[in-house]
Amino acid sequence: MRFFVARDIDGFFGLFIDNLVQLLLILALCSSLAGMSGDFGYLIDARILPGAAISIVIGNLFYSWQAYRLAKKEGRDDVTALPYGINTPSLLVYVFFVLVPLRDNPEKAWKMGLVACLGSGIIELLGAFIAPAIRRYTPRAALLSTLAGIAIGFISMKFCLDIWSKPIVAMGPLALVLVSYFSGVRFPLGLPGGFIAVMLGTVAAWVLPSSITEVQLSTSAVVDAARAAQPHWPVWCGPELLSALENSAEWLPLLSVIIPMGLFNLIGSLQNIESAEASGDRFSTTWSLAANGIGTITAAFLGSCFPTTIYIGHPGWKQLGARSGYSVLNGIAIAALCFSGTVPVVAKIIPIEAGIAIVLWIGVIITAQAFQATPPRHAAAVAIGLFPAIAAWGATVSCGVFDLAPIRDAGITLQKFLMEGDVNMVQLSGYGLHGLITLERGYIFTCMMIAALAAALIDRQFFTASIWSALAVITTVIGLTHAYAVSGSVLDYLMIWERTPPIDATLYRAYDIAAGYLVMSLLFLGLGFYYDRRKVDADEEFIPHE
């Protein structure tokens, strides 16, 4: 396999745009919500972004080398490297639950962010050695169904809304992406479809009036961003991280955030490795996850507060024709932006709407793969596993309403709405929102367990279904799934060891859901013993639905 092929450019644009979105989120959220602006702006420009760049480069180089090595070993020319970058859910959770509460002291907030990032990396690294066993005993339908649900809710749906909200800029690139990737035709001069799509959207945004495109671009904004750009190199932040670790009273409460998100990252990366294998690329589970953990730990020691992860979307990049070179290109581009301080400049030149069609397509392929790469009889198991992730998207959108200025200024909070139901808002019942939130908490685990027990029932493995239901009991009681605490409009996990939750918070420990899972487990167990006895008579047809 050649190290670099022409279609790596398409893959690069898709992965680069995804990573660029994360960098822009860091820039916007940390400066506006975590107090890292003005005199504390250096925490983003000179600490977080350079540290994040190094962690991304490490992962991109490793996964590129891993793909090239696998191709050489198997004598193939179609191996695609695992995509890699900053974990979006962790980014958002760490900003709102680690950095924002300490925004009055930005340096302290940054140090606690380093601790949280380190904790996630340790969980990912240690989990690499038990993950192969998880893969061995988990049906493919359960692993891929979870990814499909995330792809529908948090990738495809989000970018669908963005495309149809800015149609003048985004729908032209969408058409080119659909022609290039669905039809498989080549464009003149062999130019990659993704490249042409991004260029078309960018030209449209610059040439057409902003009143038509609804995209605000200006040369003065580009010039101002370029003048403000200054080069920054990674800085060793070990002393700051170790000093923060010495004060255990400050970071121990963060375990309620670190542990769920660390496990979330671990399971998510595991599912992405399974997705790659379903596409024909079988990478080492242990080494892939270990590299992921090492990248996150490196980020923490070099100043970044945000964990890295194996990205969802390998099948999409593979169908794009990307191989190993796209990963290296992404690492080089991200490092160049972060080290030169030009992340804001790129954001002023290329509108994000010009490239989101590529990411939308990635989500479509992931969803299709969940059904295509599993046994046909497990299609229903894949389908039922989609619902918790879709509900999680609905909960995210619904809870975001309470951050809107008119709602916030009216004194209507998420907590009040959950307690009182309809408070002169649209007819959305508090009970319905409660249901969305219970499915949103730890939905990545719920998706997997529901799909796994469904696959076991399809295969008439009642004892296995009972075990998966029992596992759901445990995760619910612990607080990894379904349980939550809400204070004002701030939603948080509620772990079992949190006996002193925030004052005046509304708590839901989900013990009733745990009881429901227990009933399911006992029911499946009883059916297992019943039908196991019936199978003693070899002449009797085994029909469990009698």
- Which 3-state string (H, E, C) describes 192-206? CHHHHHHHHHHHHHH
- Rounded to whole angstroms, the Cα distance separating 90 from 123 reads 13
Q: What is the pLDDT of residue 333?
A: 93
Q: What is the pLDDT of residue 522?
A: 97
Q: What is the pLDDT of residue 427?
A: 45
Q: Assess whether 361 and 484 both reside in one domain.
A: no
- Rounded to whole angstroms, the Cα distance separating 442 from 495 reads 11
Q: Assess whether 291 and 398 both reside in one domain.
A: no
CA-based diameter of the chain, in Å? 83
**Domain's final residue, options 374, 392, 424:** 374
Q: Assess whether 286 and 145 both reside in one domain.
A: yes
Residue 382: closest CA among 366, 401, 398, 400:
366
Residues 6 or more apart in contact with residue 345 via CB below 8 angstroms: 222, 225, 226, 229
Contact 295, 51 (CB under 8 A): no
Helix pair 511-534, 462-478: axis angle to 10 deg:
170
**Domain's final residue, options 374, 408, 428:** 374
Q: Assess whether 292 and 366 both reside in one domain.
A: yes
Q: Assess whether 356 and 473 both reside in one domain.
A: no
* Residue 332 belongs to domain spanning: 1-374
- Rounded to whole angstroms, the Cα distance separating 195 from 184 reads 15
Find the Cα–Cα–Cα–Cα dihedral 392, 398, 402, 403, rounded to 10°.
70
User: Would you call 486 helix, strand, or coil by DSSP?
Assistant: strand
- Rounded to whole angstroms, the Cα distance separating 349 from 339 reads 18
Q: Assess whether 155 and 240 both reside in one domain.
A: yes
Residue 309: closest CA among 362, 258, 263:
263
Phi/psi class of residue 82: alpha, beta or left (left: φ > 0; alpha: ψ in -120 to 50)?
beta
Q: Assess whether 338 and 285 both reside in one domain.
A: yes
- Rounded to whole angstroms, the Cα distance separating 172 from 206 reads 14
- Rounded to whole angstroms, the Cα distance separating 209 from 199 reads 17
Number of domains making up the chain: 2
Burial degree of 168 (CB within 10 A; 0-12, 13-18, 19+):
middle
Q: Assess whether 294 and 418 both reside in one domain.
A: no
- Rounded to whole angstroms, the Cα distance separating 171 from 353 reads 9
Q: Assess whether 7 and 50 both reside in one domain.
A: yes
Q: Assess whether 275 and 393 both reside in one domain.
A: no
Q: What is the pLDDT of residue 336?
A: 94
Q: Assess whether 317 and 418 both reside in one domain.
A: no
- Rounded to whole angstroms, the Cα distance separating 201 from 171 reads 8
The secondary structure of 149-175, three-state, reads HHHHHHHHHHHHHHHHHCHHHHHHHHH
Q: Assess whether 321 and 379 both reside in one domain.
A: no
- Rounded to whole angstroms, the Cα distance separating 79 from 100 reads 42
Q: 91 pairs with which residues across the strands?
A: none
**Domain's final residue, options 333, 349, 374:** 374
User: Would you call 179 helix, strand, or coil by DSSP?
Assistant: helix
- Rounded to whole angstroms, the Cα distance separating 290 from 480 reads 23
Q: What is the pLDDT of residue 80?
A: 95
Output the tens digit of pLDDT for each of the chain's 546 residues: 788 888 888 888 778 877 887 887 788 788 888 889 888 888 998 999 999 999 999 999 999 999 999 999 999 999 999 999 988 777 877 887 789 888 889 999 999 999 999 999 999 999 999 888 888 888 888 888 877 887 788 778 877 888 998 999 999 999 988 887 788 777 776 666 777 888 899 999 999 998 888 888 889 989 988 888 889 999 999 999 999 998 877 887 777 678 767 877 888 888 889 889 988 999 999 999 999 999 999 999 999 999 999 987 788 888 878 999 999 999 999 999 999 988 888 878 888 788 778 778 877 877 887 888 788 999 999 999 999 989 988 888 888 888 777 887 777 788 877 776 544 444 444 457 888 899 999 888 899 899 999 999 999 999 999 999 999 999 999 998 999 988 888 888 888 877 665 567 888 899 999 999 999 999 999 999 988 776 544 444 444 443
Contact 337, 84 (CB under 8 A): no
Residue 122: closest CA among 333, 265, 247:
265
Residue 195: closest CA among 100, 347, 320, 379:
320
Q: What is the DSSP letter of 379?
A: H
